[in-house]
Chain A
Amino acid sequence: MQCSSDCSLCLGGDAGLISLKNFTFTYKNGDEAKLNRASVDIKAGQFVLVCGATGSGKSTLLKALVGLVPHFSGGTASGVRTIDGQDFSRAMPHETAHLIGYVNQQPEGAFVADTVLEELAFALEQLAIGRDEMIRRVDAALAATGLSELRNRKLFELSGGQQQRVAIAAALSAGQKILVLDEPTSALDPLAAKELLEFVWRLSRSEGITVIVAEHRIERLVGLVDSVIIVNNDGTVSQGEPQTQLAKFKFVPPLIELAHQLAWPKVLLSIEHAAEEFARSAPHTTKRIAHLPLGSEVLNAERVTVDYGSLRAVDSVSLSAKAGEVIAVMGENGSGKTSLLWALQGTGNRGDGRISVAGQDPATLTATERLSVVAMVPQQAADLLFLPNLGDELDEADEVAEAKSASTSQLFEQFSGRIDPSIHPRDLSSGQQLALVLAMQLVKNASLVILDEPTRGLDYAAKKQVAQVLRNLASSGKAVIFASHDVEFIAQSADRVIQLEAGKVIADQPVETALEYRADNSLASQVAQITKLPGVIALQQVVTNE
């Protein structure tokens, strides 16, 4: 911690130091720099959080540490990268593979082999380690990560959380002392995400591994990290103590936002401390959640069942939605959320049951007719995009919907502001892609809006924006249903929460009941856990008593 800038001078005995100095990176000539004279300096064994807004260059910073930027990203870079005091500025990633391990957001997309054993051996094979030594090292890595019983399993049989752990073990199997994780929990449900981060933290402590992790849902990590790096939108980077860094960061979890809102003297980094502080400085007046008055029934579904072969994905689900209502569907991966949403939309497989949206069964309509009844944004919004620029996509959407020209683009502008229509749709951020598809789907003013995991890959600011869009849709008389794991987002946006388990509805409650503080409620929001007050789940409910 003592040597501030030039670390190569105080090279200690243990491995795991990494730094960037004056690192600048630009995608294309003339573009703004994604990283602008960024300098970071990470000590051996530290646990470091990297945060920044979506599109801020957070991933770029991690990739620069690994050497993937600029070699795999395109663009030009300058600056110095050192590992354990040695200069690796221009090295390809494979040249530093024995020193640093890297795991990206989708482990299932980055697997090379088909069994756990072979996956862990991959790095060792590349480093030309002999077979006996290789098996010894793989087993050691499996033991260190507690994955020994998975040794001979096929990768595709594993759960998302297990796959992510295997990916981490594979990144460390060659004895790497530095681990770089890019949003490791983005595809996991809340419980699996929590377990994974605890796993990484334990690994870091027990094996003395330097961990550098980027994560949107900062609240999971703020209590654990030694240092926080913030990547600003202009590409500059700052590094420092968690408390001071997070106090100045704009896109923070409710935990920290609450501290700002209540003007606490300092930011508290754990729910427990915040809860104590809240109890001490109480009382605060709290407001009830403002639900909209409900209108007529938009959706009525009775005993909907979806089967895939012998597997029953959705089991006799009945639900109704009224105009002005926002409903969140929660449940573990594989509980039938996506199947239910597609069945409600009308194109999904539906075995049994009756669905009526504004008096019509959407399954009997054509694609164009359906647009004026139900709008749907799938999990991967980009699946709908195939034209070479944004302008074409917008025009095409008008034409298909037989809508007035520019009506899609007006909607899109409402959701995300003006964007240059010549941009390639794949270069939009995930939030912008979501807005684009939402605009396309809403151009015929459908009365039911369905979204599958709308906040995947979004930061707090973008999530707030999406929540606001959903609230606006509800107040304009639409019914909104979305599937999500994201408790804080649901606390901001939903009126009602439906929980699915193995295709069945196990709870259908108002949001303030579903997410409120109870000893046994794993879905309690941060605000609920801090205030411990019944029915208090969201920031806007808590106000100072000035």
Chain B
Amino acid sequence: MNKQPLLSKVSIAVAALASILMFAWPLLIATDSQNENLLAQAVFMALMPLIIAIVLVEFSTGEIGSRQLAILGVMTAINAVIRLLGAGTAGIETAFFLIIIGAYIFRSGFGFILGSASILVSALLGAGVGPWLPFQMMAAGLVGIGAGALPRFKGKFAQLLTLCVYAVLASFVYGALMTLWNWPFLAGADSSVSYEAGAGLGANLLRFLNYEIATGGLLWDAGRAITTCALILIAAPALLTSLRRAANRGGFEG
């Protein structure tokens, strides 16, 4: 789980590309046929779970021991529970800081699984299963992959700063991805803030930003960024110590 072979890395990169396209299709789609738009939407919904499955397999065929699985299970459960506890309060996102910190210590593979599994478990326990679920899982998994690839600086301050900067970035990217997902559903194709099929990336980006502003999506993301940063600043030093203690692995000498 620590060292990914090259083949696996390529697969994961391709999977990330494919999934981002599936999020961003309203910005990119060239045809303005309403049927083909609906078709794209439906097909992507069906394919996303498959892509998640392949990425999960890629990350778990490496060495993933019982110990790491147990830590994964615990962190997933804690994350799901605090996500449920924090749910319903606008702009408060309590699930991200554990994903980011966990991924930072145990690397990208752990981060992807932790991110997607946290979302899955909290959805199963708290009525969050819907057509959006695979997309949320993928977006949270991508946040985990990114956090696992962050540079590891020596100083405590530099580590915290890295985590916070990433938290802000990840909050907005996650928000943008999920808004892209619900954009065609909530705004339809016929309002002044809807995507306009075939209008090109530039024009649609402007419309998307308008949609984000009109729906207050950016405020929501800012709330997520702030809470995640605050939680990281408060909890990261102690969490890093606890998790590193748990991660300590043994071996035979000679």
Known contacts A74-B248, A426-B245; can you find 5 more A-B pairs with CB under 8 A? A69-B250, A71-B67, A72-B67, A386-B238, A388-B237
Question: Is A90 interfacial (CB 8 A cutoff)?
Answer: yes
Q: List 6 A-B contacts (CB under 8 A).
A: A71-B67, A71-B251, A72-B250, A74-B248, A76-B250, A78-B253
Q: Which 6 A-B pairs have the closest CB atoms?
A: A70-B250, A74-B248, A74-B250, A76-B253, A388-B241, A75-B250
Mark contacts of A57-79 with chain B using CB atoms, 8 A cut-off: 1 yes-contact digit, 0 otherwise.
Answer: 00000000000011111111110
Mark contacts of B212-254 with chain A using CB atoms, 8 A cut-off: 1 yes-contact digit, 0 otherwise.
Answer: 0000000000000000000000000110010001001111111
**In the complex, A78 Cα to B254 Cα: how many Å?**
7
Residues of A within 8 A of B251 (CB): 70-71, 76-77
Mark contacts of A73-96 with chain B using CB atoms, 8 A cut-off: 1 yes-contact digit, 0 otherwise.
Answer: 111111000000000011000100
Q: A72-B67, A426-B245 are in contact. Are A387 and B238 (CB under 8 A)?
A: yes
Smallest CB gap from A387: residue in B: B238
Residues of B within 8 A of A78 (CB): 252-254
**In the complex, A155 Cα to B143 Cα: how many Å?**
37
Residues of B within 8 A of A426 (CB): 245
Residues of B within 8 A of A386 (CB): 238
**In the complex, A233 Cα to B127 Cα: how many Å?**
53
**In the complex, A544 Cα to B252 Cα: how many Å?**
53
**In the complex, A387 Cα to B238 Cα: how many Å?**
7
Q: A72-B67, A424-B245 are in contact. Are A77 and B238 (CB under 8 A)?
A: no
**In the complex, A116 Cα to B253 Cα: how many Å?**
40
Q: Which residues of B contact A (CB under 8 A)?
A: 66-67, 237-238, 241, 245, 248-254
Residues of A within 8 A of B241 (CB): 388, 424
A interface size (C-beta, 8 A): 18
A residues 34-78 in Cβ contact with B at 8 Å: 69-78
Residues of A within 8 A of B248 (CB): 74
Q: A387-B238, A388-B237 are in contact. Are A77 and B245 (CB under 8 A)?
A: no
**In the complex, A71 Cα to B65 Cα: how many Å?**
10
Quick one: which of B238, B250, B252, B253 has the most chain A CB within 10 A?
B250
**In the complex, A388 Cα to B240 Cα: how many Å?**
10
Q: How far is the CB of A81 from chain B (nearest CB, A)?
A: 11
Instruction: Judge whether B252 and A89 touch: CB under 8 Å.
Output: yes
Q: How far is the CB of B69 from chain A (nearest CB, A)?
A: 12
Residues of A within 8 A of B249 (CB): 71, 74
Instruction: Judge whether B238 and A76 touch: CB under 8 Å.
Output: no
**In the complex, A75 Cα to B249 Cα: how many Å?**
7
**In the complex, A116 Cα to B238 Cα: how many Å?**
38
Residues of B within 8 A of A71 (CB): 67, 249-251
Q: A424-B245, A426-B245 are in contact. Are A70 and B252 (CB under 8 A)?
A: yes
Residues of A within 8 A of B237 (CB): 388
Smallest CB gap from B240: residue in A: A388
Smallest CB gap from A71: residue in B: B250
Q: How far is the CB of B108 from chain A (nearest CB, A)?
A: 23
Instruction: Judge whether A77 and B253 touch: CB under 8 Å.
Output: yes
Smallest CB gap from A426: residue in B: B245
**In the complex, A474 Cα to B252 Cα: how many Å?**
50
Q: How far is the CB of B161 from chain A (nearest CB, A)?
A: 20
Mark contacts of A108-128 with chain B using CB atoms, 8 A cut-off: 1 yes-contact digit, 0 otherwise.
Answer: 000000000000000000000
Q: How far is the CB of B249 from chain A (nearest CB, A)?
A: 6
**In the complex, A71 Cα to B254 Cα: how many Å?**
15
**In the complex, A386 Cα to B254 Cα: how many Å?**
37
Q: How far is the CB of A377 from chain B (nearest CB, A)?
A: 23
**In the complex, A73 Cα to B66 Cα: how many Å?**
12
Smallest CB gap from A386: residue in B: B238
Residues of B within 8 A of A77 (CB): 250-253
Smallest CB gap from A75: residue in B: B250
Q: How far is the CB of B241 from chain A (nearest CB, A)?
A: 5
**In the complex, A418 Cα to B248 Cα: how many Å?**
27
Q: How far is the CB of A517 from chain B (nearest CB, A)?
A: 48
Instruction: Judge whether B252 and A90 touch: CB under 8 Å.
Output: yes
Smallest CB gap from A427: residue in B: B245
**In the complex, A77 Cα to B249 Cα: how many Å?**
12
Quick one: which of A69, A71, A89, A90 has the most chain B CB within 10 A?
A71
**In the complex, A386 Cα to B241 Cα: how many Å?**
11
Residues of B within 8 A of A387 (CB): 238
